[in-house]
Structure 1
Amino acid sequence: MAASVSEKPNFEPYEHPSGGWGSIKAVATILRRERIPIQGAKALARQNKHGGFACVSCAWAKPAKPRAAEFCENGAKATAWELTAKRMPPGFFAEHTLSSLETWSDHALEEGGRLTAPLRWDEASDRYVEVSWDEAFAGIGAELRALRAHDPKSVVFYASGRASLETSYMYQLLARLYGNNNLPDSSNMCHESTSVALPQTIGVPVGTVTLDDFEHTDAIFFFGQNVGVNSPRMLHQLQEARERGVPIVTFNPLRERGLVSFANPQSPIEMLTPAQTAISTQYLQVKVGGDIAAITGMCKALVAGDDAAVRDGTQRVLDADFIATHTHGFEAFADFVRATDWNDIERESGLSRGELTEAAVVFARAKAVIGVYGMGLTQHRKGVQNVQMLSNLLLLGGHIGRRGAGICPVRGHSNVQGQRTVGISEKPELVPLDKLAAQYGFEPPREKGLNTVETCAGVLDGSVRAFIGLGGNFLRAVPDTARVEKAWRTLRLTVQVATKLNRSHLVHGEVAYLLPCLGRIEIDRQASGEQTVSVEDSTGFMHASDGVAEPAESTLRSEPAIVAGIAKATLDANPRVPWDDWVGDYGQVRDAIEATWPEIFNDFNGRFRQPGGFPKPIAARQREWKTPNGKANFIVPDALVSDPDTPDGGPDVLRLTTVRSDDQFNTTVYSLDDRFRGIYGTRSVLLLNRHDIQRLGFAEGDVVTATTAVDDGVLRRVPGLRVTPYDIPPGCAAGYFPECNPLVPLAHHAEGSHVPASKSIPIRLSLDAKAATQNLDPSPLP
């Protein structure tokens, strides 16, 4: 097997809607490519359905009454990726050193197929060699015990977001029994800004919208969420809303196909005719980092209209009764928007007063508004304030705790919200430590643990000595990739639990283990029979998930079994922690979860199988505000631009935002194509406004090096990027995640949440004379 080699890249504008025949062809292609046309099709028929499995990619809600095909194109790709017939047995590693594999692209590594046996890195040969499960657990346990004796806080327990509620509960208990709260997860890299912002404004760390609300809304506002790539199943709710005449207003720097139009693959009319649904009724291409200014403009128009109504004695524009009864801080916020100059708003947002006023009129006419957002809001220096500005906007109209209305953060990983619910958090105040202490007879650590950015800093300064990774591709997902990778090799221990090979498994510590696990789609047989796991979706509903396919290999262990194996080899025996019983029957883990969080998981085993799941109590849905003052709070931002400390280095500095492709889920790259953006055969591209290309002295097809425009003594650069024109505001650029992560300084993170500010990176470009467009590396490494 050889590393992926790129053909000559191809660039063809894609003028079709999202969905449609393009999606059907893409699904059929990946099922054939992964050699599972029949098995894959059978699995897809049970995806996101009662008695089937919850999708392993996005966390969008699962309806009680599913469609015939309750999966999207990307969900189908994730299923095919996991059920692939391809394998990476120990013999593969006998043929390849880890150093040689480091030259492979992300796509090529995972394309090799499923891992089949536990592996340990052998320093003499620079290869992974097979070990037994007992040997792996014994070796890991010995290393962790030695580190614990020196400093238990030197070990990090990372979770990627795909692990079930049962596994996550066991994992957080392992970390706390070990002696720390070092439980960073993928939420630290994306929606931690939500978890910090919303408790201050509406008293809950999650959204308030349910699927039912989409059936009763009057208007939907999108901010920084590319639904066509990141959560395509939501397009069904958007299509149905548009068919009822509901306006959808979109704020997004790039013009994305999924937010423009959609052809439903399950609609005979739309598949057999040119029919398609226009998704956005107004598409506002806000400048990268300009969301606070844009929302301020809408709020300014609304407050001005309400002031005029009060003066003239006409019907109010704002929900004055809601504001008076339920909120605090309105007058300070209203004074802020009144005092903000329209010239400043237009300059920072890149939008005109007329455009923002038109959006405000749509908002004012609606009785029930849903505000949807993604990482386009959260991954900025002022990401927390971005989210709070959207909350401010919705509070003006009383659109929290009303049917058909609310705030809707769209999560990425399929259970990233759920694992936080059951204790995967570095913040001890968010976890019922006293309850855990009583249940399991130990004193939990009370000191704050490390988040993702702090983990990277600890690797750089040497205070972190070991990393246990429950899934994910941590090293490719984090900022400052080159610096972190270099320091990563000095760790004493790295342990990775995974289904497929990725770069985080190749860059390793002095002692390294790679442990292959069952995927969620596979049947998990334990002592009490076939097991069911559970997950929480983006709307706060808990669902059962049953495996439907035979395991890739009989040698694989389930994630709960691996967590228990590490725990038993590392910790002193505790009769109150029945690791073996939990592995034998996951229902006992759910009983333990219920005992820790009875208000959330009451009758967990009895309820989690109900179609559509059961909801987590979210007080703001009932207009109960769990804030210190008992009110929903307006919060005044301290700047109009989302990244105020980004230096103004002159006209040659661009604001880079990272994006995902159509053939990608987080760090998993299914192919080198991005159909919706018309890019085929490469990910080494930089999307620029045509006027910027000309202004900066480049031409389409030039190959450039992007360098971070931050003067902190560190050179950060990504070479070999093809200059490609795209519909993006002037002064802005877009490049792929994770390839552009080396450009993000570790200190460039959201205030208050530490989310890497990957949606606004200051860069300069220089012509790369050594590169040629026909030889572009498909996935440049730092």
Structure 2
Amino acid sequence: MAEEQDTVHYEGAEGGWGSLRGITEIAWREKPTPAVLNTLRRQNKVKGFMCVSCAWTKPANAHPLEFCENGAKATLWELTSRRCTPEVLAAHTVSELKTWKDYDLEQLGRITHPMRYDRATDTYVPCEWEEAFAAIGRELKAIDPGAAVFYSSGRASLETSYLYALFARLYGHNNLPDSSNMCHETTSVALKKLIGSPVGTCVLSDFHLCDAIFFFGQNTGSNSPRLLHPLQEAVKRGVKIVTFNPIREKGLEVFKNPQGPVEMLTPKKTPISTLYLQVKAGGDIAAITGLTKHVLAAEERKWAEEKLHVLDVDFIEQHTQGFAAMKAHVEGTGWEEIEEESGLARADIEEAGQIYVEAKRSIAMYGMGLTQHVHGFENLAALTNLWLMKGNMGRDGTGISPVRGHSNVQGQRTVGISEKPELVPLDRIAEQYGFEPPREEGMNTVKACEKIVSGDVKAFIGLGGNFVRAIPEREKMEAAWQNLRLTVQIATKLNRSHLINGEVAFLLPCLGRSEEDLQETGAQAVTMEDSLSCIHGSLGKNTPASEHLKSEVAIVAGMAKATLPPNPKVRWDEWTGDYAKIRDLIEETYPEQFHDFNARVFTPGGFYRGNSARERVWKTESGKAEFTVPKTMTSIGFEPADWRYRLVTLRSNDQFNTTIYGYSDRLRGIEGTRDVVLMNPEDIAAAGLENGQVVALVSDAGDGVHRQVDGLTITPFLLPRGCIGAYYPEMNPLIPLWYHDEESKTPAAKGVPVRIKA
């Protein structure tokens, strides 16, 4: 492994003065409205404004400033003083805007008016809201409902999401892909099958009680820095944190709390990970198998020497099935194979395994480094095996905790955004609204893309997000996209997806979450669910960026009214006027999870909607938690070959998903550019390349399709041999649409087969 001084890197800690500088730089560029300081003060607090960045939970006892660098950037971005007016859009053709970078598009500012794409002039022109709704309704009524796709990003509130799903089913389809299809769908599929719950099992108090935390494939500092507060507190009380990640993630190495005066004014900082192992991309199954092998050996020794158990044998007997087969498989797997596939030394895996053995209560946390693989399901199955062995499920201080991205991506699924009808109480909805909901499975993201390419999809409505930029196979998808009859994009700022239009196209600007949402009965609150299954209320108070904006609820209701026949049980105007009535509907549909919904909206710390697996009630086919035997020792979907690299797509410190705030990836030491390919110095030398050389990455998927991204600068970085890194979404053109997790269809963006073209 190369030494750090030979690579780009960041000398400082995550947090500290670097975070304050990052926030200041964004503030200088966005020139936010004066409301920003009061908004930041209220951010993530009771009766305040819930951050639109990551989905990490909001504690009942908030810090004085309950936001991180990323959360502050998201708020500054929303409260920019820049305005994307009709005059601004009239000055640029859509063809011209397609040549702009993502950052420059969003720097045009907040969209102020509903807009219609005019093909004759190749520009967006303003239109009236009723004109837009009428045209959308007319187009939707003219096609088979099954040919329409209703996509949602993970920011829309529970209230909006519930009505959006209801609109889709009243219209006649379950084509409700959302952003989780591209990131944590593997979680939903795997955990549902293995423990009967599609989400993580932890609550915040578990982090105050655990003895060890294991991280797999999650870049906390870049993607969810607020999580570093409980991690720092855990370390200070003696919790050991073990990290498996191909990337040296600064936030999981060392943290300097920006709200700690002693830390800010002295060299003091908190080391986070007790042990940090740079597993090969796709090597997690092997690494976890090694951990499991060590635990089984420790059990054998402990019983032979002391007649005591390391395993929770009572839990295994009472609550699980399949242990014997899993045990036989692991014991029959040799250390040589484990080391080869993981890229780790046996001694290092065993050191990590011993931490797990000695911990009475352990939490497993993971991100897309486990889910975005061809065998991502097997990653989570192996992790579940390890956690079940010691009964680290359904006890205080234990559990599995996926780290979600978008602020309400988990909640949208909770209230009906799902292409899988078996996950939605359709019988109850049928009775509630007096209609027969469609029962056939809808389209997820990959299926929707396939059907757009084949021409079977005629209409696409995007509730937020940047779908065309976020999906794989960019060139093919953008070409096919323009054959759609109708495209509708609901947004706050301009992005790439708004420039790839169907024959009839509308751009509908909505309120931001920090802005006051005034309806017939007054100011409205909305709700969202965090990654620990707690529901939080959010109340915007800022003056909207334009008097012409509508709330997401009002936009969904407006489209639905223009599309659907009258139904006395469906009262769009009444619901738009009072969001509390929408929460009553959610409670009626999901009474077990949302009882007394309106009374609990502003519960400090949110109210917990429950989790059966946490109660050791296993809603699986067998009625027990499932041990499984992995089908493979690598989650990569291709064979090794000379000069074939494993590309890991990354997000920088200066972005949130496809939103680019700037060109400073401070935590990796990369400034002023995103056009880089990160590579181990030894791999650079072996390939005959040089630091600073400009190269192209070429797909090596073996399907005969040429995919290439040019203009990338070779940059030395601490990565395992054979693994390279580059930024998302710029690398999406290299990912075949068919290259996804076998079970969940999540695009396999953390292990893409590529070659380097000099």
TM-score w.r.t. length of structure 1: 0.95
Query: Which amino acid is 1:139 matched to?
Result: A
Match of 1:297 in 2: 290
Counterparts of 1:401-420 in structure 2, within 5 Å, are 401-420=394-413
Match of 1:665 in 2: 656
Q: Which position in structure 1 is the counterpart of 2:575?
A: 582
Contact kept in structure 2, 1:219 and 1:368, CA below 8 Å: yes
What SS does the aligned partner of 2:214 have? strand
Secondary structure of the residue aligned to 1:142 is helix
Q: Does 1:423 align with 2:404?
A: no
Corresponding position of 1:702: 693
Aligned-partner residue type, residue 564 of structure 1: A
Q: CA deviation at 1:547?
A: 0.2
| Gap runs ≥5 in structure 2 | 1-6
Match of 2:102 in 1: 106
Residue 118 (structure 1) aligned with residue 130 (structure 2)? no
The whole-number CA distance in structure 2 between the counterparts of 1:84 and 1:194 is 35
2:757 aligned with 1:766, yes or no?
yes
Partner of 1:174: 167
- How far does residue 37 in structure 1 lie from its aligned partner after superposition? 6.9
SS at match of 1:45: helix
Query: 1:491-521: CA deviations, max 9, x gaps?
Result: 1110000000000000111110000000111
Please identify runs of 4+ aligned residues in structure 1 that moved more than 4 A: none
CA contact (8 A) 2:33 2:81 kept: no
What SS does structure 2 have at the residue aligned with 1:747?
A: coil
Among 730, 734, 751, the residue aligned to 2:742: 751
Deviation at 1:448, TM superposition (A): 0.2
Q: Secondary structure at the match of 1:50?
A: coil
Could you tell me whether the CA contact under 8 Å between 1:31 and 1:37 is conserved in 2? no
Task: Tell me the SS of whatever aligns to 2:506.
Answer: strand
Question: CA contact under 8 A between 2:680 and 2:717: conserved in structure 1?
Answer: yes
CA distance in structure 1 between the partners assigned to 2:594 and 2:628 by the alignment = 32
Q: Does 1:43 align with 2:43?
A: no
Alignment equivalent of 1:288, drawn from 265, 281, 286: 281
Task: Report the residue type matching 2:335 in the other structure.
Answer: W
Displacement after TM superposition at 1:29 (Å): 2.2
Aligned with residue 352 of structure 1, among 345, 352, 357? 345
What is the one-letter code of the residue matched to 1:249?
Answer: V
Aligned pairs for 1:291-370 (under 5 A) are 291-370=284-363
| % identity of equivalent residues | 58
1:777 corresponds to which residue? Answer: none
User: What secondary structure sits across from 2:719 in the alignment?
Assistant: coil
Measured against aligned partners, the alpha-carbon deviations of 1:172-220 in whole angstroms (never above 9, x if no partner) come to 0010011100000000000000000111211100001111111111000
1:742 is matched with which residue: 733, 742, 750? 733
Confirm or deny: 8 A CA contact 2:32 2:77 kept in the other structure: no
Deviates further, 415-424 or 391-400: 391-400
Deviation at 1:548, TM superposition (A): 2.3
For residues 283-324 of structure 1, what are the alpha-carbon distances to aligned partners after superposition, in whole Å with 9 as ceiling and x for unaligned? Answer: 000000000000000001111221233344432221112111
Matched residue type, 1:51: K
Measured in 2, the distance between the counterparts of 1:398 and 1:663 equals: 39
Quote the Cα distance in structure 2 between the aligned partners of 1:602 and 1:582.
19
Q: Deviations over 1:117-156 (max 9, x none)?
A: 0000101100000000011111111111111xxx211000
Which residue number in structure 1 is paired with residue 4 of structure 2? none
Question: 2:410 corresponds to which letter in structure 1?
Answer: Q
Tell me how many residue pairs correspond in the alignment.
Answer: 752
**What residue number does 2:137 align with?**
141
The correspondence of residues 666-681 of structure 1 with structure 2, limited to 5 A, is 666-681=657-672
The 2-side partners of 1:573 and 1:502 are apart by 35
CA distance in 2, matches of 1:306, 1:256: 33
Give, in angstroms, the shift of residue 624 of structure 1. Answer: 1.3
Find the aligned partners of 2:357 and 2:248 in 1 and give their Cα distance. 25
Contiguous gaps of at least 5 residues in structure 1: 1-10, 768-782
Q: Are residue 256 (structure 1) and residue 252 (structure 2) matched?
A: no
Q: Spell out the pairing of 1:190-229 with structure 2 (5 A cutoff).
A: 190-229=183-222
Matches of residues 292-691 of structure 1 in structure 2 within 5 Å?
A: 292-643=285-636, 645-648=637-640, 650-691=641-682
Question: TM-score w.r.t. structure 2 length?
Answer: 0.98
Would you say the 8 A contact 1:28–1:37 is kept in 2? no
1:41-84 superposed Cα distances (whole Å, 9 cap, x missing partner)? 21100000011111001000000110001000000000010111
> Contact 1:415–1:537 at 8 Å: present in 2 too?
yes
2:421–2:439 Cα contact (<8 Å) kept: yes
Does the CA contact (< 8 Å) of 1:647 and 1:762 recur in 2?
A: no
In the alignment, the residues of structure 1 paired with residue 301 and residue 23 of structure 2 have an alpha-carbon distance, to the nearest angstrom, of 54
Q: Is the 8 A contact 1:433 1:444 kept in 2?
A: yes
Q: Hey, what does 1:275 align to over in structure 2? A: 268
CA distance in 1, matches of 2:732, 2:277: 27
Report the secondary structure of 2:709's partner residue.
strand
Pairing partner for 2:179 from 181, 186, 210:
186
2: CA distance, partners of 1:106 / 1:211: 36
Letter in 2 for 1:62: K
2:70 to 67, 71, 74: 74
* Deviates further, 615-624 or 67-76: 615-624
Equivalent in the alignment of 1:97: 93
Name the counterpart of 1:780.
none
Give the letter aligned to residue 60 of structure 1: W
